[in-house]
């Protein structure tokens, strides 16, 4: 399998995507097919998982041979260390040999840097591709990524748990702890709250780990907007649309009293 990314904006998003996955999982399972790459992984506590697709048309070029390995596993921290050397004006090339034993990543071009060539270890033993349910949610929120990221950073001052209290009339987010408390009331007229949909007559209260939500908002540069899907006693879905039918979906289990 060989792919290239020559579009600087997409290369930057690739850097954001894979560079932040080390905060969620030790191992990135990469499933390779003729339609592109499908990535999944889960944290060691099985509280948060990610599901990401980069379609073949998202890349400048993408080629998979019939004899190529269908899945490889890559250590996320090594991937992140390699990406830390990437410069914004460079092209990215990735080549995984047919048996999946080696992943070669090259950064080429750039006016103020040099070409760089890396070989990363891969290994077998990853899990089968998980089926992530896509049931209709009780509440859908579309908000600017920056707004959500800023709020989460402020909530982090006060507690380790972020609580949602939502109805047809209001969206409240709150955190409290020994250092005080903070409640944010999102105006339904706020231009940064792009869309808000809720099942008629519903009042929903849900709490989630702020530490994990902080890691989930670290991907904010993937897209201008982020979608939150919530349902009673079910996980939180956070979805970034990366264009070209590509996306990052993060799933976080709720806090149980």
| pLDDT tens figures, 214-226 | 999 999 999 999 9
Is the pLDDT at 127 greater than 70, yes or no?
yes
Q: CATH code for 2-121? A: 3.10.150.10
Pairwise CA distance, residues 14 & 18, whole Å: 6
DSSP 17-67: HHHHGGGT-SEEEEEEETTEEEEEEE-TTSSEEEEEEEEGGGSSEEE--TT
- pLDDT, the chain, mean: 94
Cβ–Cβ under 8 Å, residues 205 and 163 = yes
Q: Which is more confidently placed, 207 or 98?
A: 207
139-252 matches 2-121 in CATH topology: no
pLDDT in tens, 52-94: 999 999 999 999 998 888 999 999 999 999 999 999 989 999 9
- Identify the pLDDT of residue 176: 85
- Identify the pLDDT of residue 125: 67
3-state secondary structure 85-149: CCCCCCEEEEEECCCCCEEEEEEECCCCCCCEEEEEECECCCCCCCCCCCCCCCEEEEEEHHHHH
- Identify the pLDDT of residue 249: 98
- Identify the pLDDT of residue 128: 83
Confidence of residue 124 (pLDDT cuts 50, 70, 90): confident
Q: CATH code for 139-252? A: 3.70.10.10
State if pTM tops 0.75.
yes
pLDDT in tens, 153-192: 999 988 899 999 999 999 999 998 888 899 999 999 999 9
Cβ–Cβ under 8 Å, residues 232 and 167 = no
97 CB contacts (<8 Å, ≥6 apart)? 104
Cβ–Cβ under 8 Å, residues 106 and 189 = no
Domain ranges across the chain: 2-121, 139-252
Beta-bridge partners for 205? 165
Is the pLDDT at 51 greater than 90, yes or no?
yes
- Identify the pLDDT of residue 215: 97
Cα–chain center distance at 131: 17
Confidence of residue 99 (pLDDT cuts 50, 70, 90): confident
């Amino acid at each position: 399998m060989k792919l290239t990314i020559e579009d600087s904006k997409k290369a930057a998003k690739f850097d954001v995507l894979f560079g932040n996955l080390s905060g969620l999982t030790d191992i990135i399972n990469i499933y390779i097919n003729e339609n592109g790459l499908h990535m999944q992984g889960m944290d060691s506590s099985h509280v948060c998982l990610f599901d990401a697709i980069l379609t073949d048309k998202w890349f400048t070029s993408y080629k998979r041979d019939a004899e190529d390995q269908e899945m490889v596993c890559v250590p996320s921290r090594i991937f992140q260390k390699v990406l830390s050397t990437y410069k914004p004006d460079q092209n990215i090339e990735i080549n995984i040999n047919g048996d999946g034993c080696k992943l070669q990543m090259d950064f080429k071009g750039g006016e103020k840097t040099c070409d760089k060539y890396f070989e990363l270890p891969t290994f077998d033993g990853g899990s089968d591709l998980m089926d992530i349910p896509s049931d209709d949610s009780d509440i859908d929120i579309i908000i600017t990524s920056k707004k959500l990221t800023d709020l989460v950073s402020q909530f982090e001052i006060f507690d380790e748990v972020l609580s949602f209290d939502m109805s047809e009339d209001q969206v409240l987010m709150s955190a409290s702890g020994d250092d005080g408390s903070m409640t944010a009331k999102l105006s339904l007229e706020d231009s940064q709250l792009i869309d808000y949909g809720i099942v008629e007559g519903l009042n929903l209260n849900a709490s989630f780990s702020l530490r994990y939500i902080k890691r989930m908002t670290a991907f904010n540069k993937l897209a201008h907007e982020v979608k939150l899907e919530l349902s009673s006693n079910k996980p939180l879905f956070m979805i970034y649309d990366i264009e070209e039918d590509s996306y990052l979906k993060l799933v976080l289990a709720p806090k149980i009293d």
